[in-house]
Amino acid sequence: MTNSIALPCDGCGQIASAEHLVRRLQRLEWTTRYRPVHINTLLLGAFSPVEEKDFLYSPGGEFHGEAALLLEALGMPTTGRGADSVQAEFQRAGFFLTHVLECPLEKESKRESESPTVIAQRLPAVAVRIRRSLKPKRVVLISQALAPVLEEIQTSKLGCPVVLDLGKPFRFDGPAPEHAVARLREALAAAAAD
Instruction: Give tens-digit pLDDT for 115-163.
Output: 788 899 999 999 999 999 999 999 999 999 999 999 999 999 999 999 9
Structural domain containing residue 54: 7-193
- Residue 63 in domain: yes
- Residue 98 in domain: yes
User: Does the pLDDT of residue 1 top 60, yes or no?
Assistant: no
User: Does the pLDDT of residue 108 top 80, yes or no?
Assistant: no
Give the strand pairing for 41-47 and 138-141.
parallel
In the predicted model, what is the mean pLDDT of residues 91-95? 95
Q: Which of 50, 44, 24 is nearest to 154 (CA)?
A: 44
- Residue 1 in domain: no
- Residue 167 in domain: yes
The CATH number of the domain where 27 resides is what?
Answer: 3.40.470.10
In the predicted model, what is the mean pLDDT of residues 81-90? 93
Count Cβ atoms within 10 A of the Cβ of residue 56 and give its class: 0-12 exposed, 13-18 middle, 19 or more buried. buried
